[in-house]
């Protein structure tokens, strides 16, 4: 190093500055090394020792440069080479580099040994006046190595999971999450869960067991919040209008039991449930109104039919009684043959004057009634030409439509009637709820089936994918 006395002052100053920056960069390399994660703890500490030894080597070189600069300024020529210290430090550095190279199965840690060789006292004797050049190259290599390792460690910190990165990640979640031990000691909690604690209770709990048991289960310290139970899950409505559902789950890990408590924001889902409940109440109300309307229609029909029968009976019977009274006043007592004829004619007149309504008119009345109560009635096709079959179809349509609205809460009833070479087919569908269990045939369905079987036909009921009542009357059977 004494050869530096032959160089200009600015060269010696440059050596000092480079040595200073090299010390700073190697110190930063050592600090970054403590953030590097290893599975092998022995390798970790070996690399730390290697970085410390390199830092000591750079400090010695920087100290040499500063010492020469100081004495040159004072006009003195003196240099303490510290030969024993430099050789001892080199041996430790060589051993440590070899261990790291073997452990990591890489060769590049060994090149630092080669660079250090050019800074040893023996190199001064070999290279003579050219030694400062090798000294400068060694400082440059140390500097470049430090910069490379610092950039490498910074990149690893970005892509490697750590306790801090995990905390940052869960804090960014839109749900509240908390992990705790069996005794309630909180291991990890994110910001959202802390905010939920503040919203629900006005404070942040340090024990998860107390928060879950006292607040969520027993509702002791809850503020202006309402709790709703959905199965085993708890939903809390805050004063801000948001809905949060809390779920607790046990996690087994390395023979230890931990608990995970999650608070999820289900405001949109809760609003949808509220809307569905309102719609369900409206449908129930409409169902009750429909039942009442059907009952009123039946009552009116019964009353009108009773009045019609009474009026017709009065007309037919009154006519006979009037004739009988007239004969009695004229002393013309009718004989038994005439009375029997009158009774026979009386029964014939009652049957003959019964009003008849066509199946088409009956179907139109059903459609009008459905539309009046807000049910869409769709008819595709025409009723059969045979009035008897058309009447049976009309009765089936009435019964099926009534059941669809009363039991299925349907808003649409679709009738499809088709006649082809195989026979007559009718399908009755609706947009209502399908039965959850097996269909039990009551009096209405049994009566429909009986009438269809009288025509050698069949009746079937399907519930998937939608409710459908299917009627088939073979062409040959019904015509024959």
- DSSP 8-state class, residue 457: -
Crossing angle between the packed helical segments 359-372 and 387-408, to the nearest 10 degrees = 20
- Listing DSSP states for 148-188 in one string gives HHHHHHHHHHHHS--HHHHHHHHHTSSSEEEEEETT-BEEE
SS (H, E, C) 67-82: HHHHHHHHCCCCCCCC
Q: What pLDDT does 479 receive?
A: 44
* Pairwise CA distance, residues 40 & 118, whole Å: 32
Q: What pLDDT does 182 receive?
A: 86
Only one residue has tokens 């008849």, namely 356
Q: Backbone phi, then psi, for 106, in 5-degree steps?
A: -135, 150
* Pairwise CA distance, residues 315 & 311, whole Å: 6
Of 471, 468, 428, the C-alpha closest to 453 is 471
Distances (CA, A) of 290 to 30, 194, 403, 411, 414: 83, 52, 11, 12, 18
Only one residue has tokens 């400082």, namely 139
Q: What pLDDT does 95 receive?
A: 92
Stated pTM of the model: 0.39
Q: What pLDDT does 338 receive?
A: 64
Instruction: Kindly state the tokens that stand for 218.
Output: 């027993």
Q: Which residues contact 125 (CB under 8 A, 6 or more apart)?
A: none
Instruction: Kindly state the tokens that stand for 11.
Output: 């060269």
Residue-by-residue pLDDT tens, the chain, 480 positions: 666 666 777 877 888 888 889 999 989 988 888 766 555 677 888 888 988 999 998 888 888 888 777 777 776 655 566 788 888 989 999 999 898 888 878 887 888 888 888 888 888 778 878 878 888 888 899 999 899 988 888 877 776 656 666 777 788 888 999 999 888 888 889 999 999 888 888 888 889 888 888 888 887 777 777 887 777 778 888 877 888 888 888 888 877 889 999 998 888 888 888 888 888 888 888 778 777 777 777 677 667 667 767 766 655 565 456 556 545 665 666 666 666 766 666 666 665 555 556 788 888 887 887 776 677 889 999 888 888 888 888 888 888 887 777 677 778 889 999 988 888 999 999 888 777 767 766 667 787 888 888 888 898 888 888 888 899 998 765 543
- DSSP 8-state class, residue 249: E
* Pairwise CA distance, residues 402 & 377, whole Å: 12
* Element at 470 (helix H, strand E): strand 468-474
Q: What pLDDT does 308 receive?
A: 67
Strand segments (E) across 335-422? 376-380, 412-420
Asked if omega into 465 is within 30° of 0 (cis), the reply is yes
Q: What pLDDT does 92 receive?
A: 92
* Element at 475 (helix H, strand E): helix 475-479
* Pairwise CA distance, residues 415 & 413, whole Å: 7
Only one residue has tokens 């004797």, namely 125
CA angle 302-304-310, nearest 5°?
A: 100
Q: Which residues contact 177 (CB under 8 A, 6 or more apart)?
A: 170, 188, 189, 190, 192, 193, 260, 261, 262, 263
Strand segments (E) across 336-411? 376-380
Q: What pLDDT does 319 receive?
A: 46
- Listing DSSP states for 181-239 in one string gives ETT-BEEEE-HHHHHHHHHHHSS--SBHHHIIIIIIIT-SS--S-EEEEETTEEEEE-T
Q: Identify whether the C-beta of residue 474 lies closer than 8 Å to the C-beta of residue 456.
A: yes
């Amino acid at each position: 190093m004494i050869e530096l006395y032959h160089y200009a002052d600015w060269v010696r100053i440059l050596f000092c500055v480079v040595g200073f920056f090299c010390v700073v960069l190697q110190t930063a390399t050592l600090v970054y090394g403590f953030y590097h994660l290893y599975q092998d703890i022995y390798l970790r500490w070996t690399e730390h020792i290697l970085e410390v030894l390199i830092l000591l080597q750079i400090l010695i070189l920087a100290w040499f440069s500063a010492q020469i600069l100081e004495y040159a300024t004072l006009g003195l020529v003196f240099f303490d080479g510290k030969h024993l210290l430099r050789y001892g430090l080199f041996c430790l550095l060589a051993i440590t580099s070899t261990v790291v190279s073997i452990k990591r199965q890489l060769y590049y840690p060994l090149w630092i040994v080669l660079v250090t060789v050019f800074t040893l006292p023996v190199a001064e004797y070999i290279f003579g006046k050219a030694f400062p050049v090798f000294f400068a190259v060694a400082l440059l290599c140390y500097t470049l190595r430090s910069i490379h390792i610092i950039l490498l460690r910074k990149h690893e910190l970005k892509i490697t999971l750590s306790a801090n990165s995990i905390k940052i990640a869960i804090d960014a979640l839109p749900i509240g999450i908390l992990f705790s031990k069996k005794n309630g000691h909180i291991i990890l909690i994110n910001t959202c869960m802390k905010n939920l604690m503040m919203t629900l209770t006005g404070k942040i709990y340090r024990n998860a067991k107390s928060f879950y048991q006292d607040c969520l289960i027993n509702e002791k310290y809850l503020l202006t919040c309402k709790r709703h139970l959905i199965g085993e899950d708890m939903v809390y409505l805050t004063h801000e209008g948001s809905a949060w559902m809390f779920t607790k789950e046990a996690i087994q890990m390395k023979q230890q039991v931990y608990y995970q408590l999650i608070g999820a924001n289900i405001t949109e889902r809760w609003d949808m449930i509220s809307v569905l409940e309102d719609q369900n109440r409206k449908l129930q109300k409409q169902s009750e109104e429909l039942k009442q309307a059907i009952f009123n229609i039946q009552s009116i029909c019964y009353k009108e039919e009773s009045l019609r029968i009474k009026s017709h009976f009065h007309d037919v019977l009154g006519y006979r009684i009037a004739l009988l009274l007239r004969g009695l006043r004229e002393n013309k007592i009718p004989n038994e043959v005439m009375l029997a004829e009158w009774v026979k004619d009386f029964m014939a007149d009652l049957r003959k004057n019964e009003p008849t309504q066509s199946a088409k008119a009956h179907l139109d009345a059903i459609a009008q009634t459905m539309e009046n109560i807000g049910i869409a009635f769709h008819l595709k096709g025409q009723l059969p030409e045979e009035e008897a079959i058309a009447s049976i179809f009309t009765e089936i349509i009435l019964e099926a439509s009534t059941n669809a609205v009363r039991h299925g809460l349907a808003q649409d009833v679709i009738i499809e009637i088709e006649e082809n070479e195989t026979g007559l087919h009718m399908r009755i569908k609706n947009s209502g709820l399908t039965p959850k269990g097996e269909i039990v045939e009551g009096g209405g369905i049994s009566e429909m089936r009986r009438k269809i079987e009288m025509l050698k036909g069949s009746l079937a009921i399907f519930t998937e994918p939608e409710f459908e009542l299917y009627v088939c009357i073979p062409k040959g059977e019904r015509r024959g």
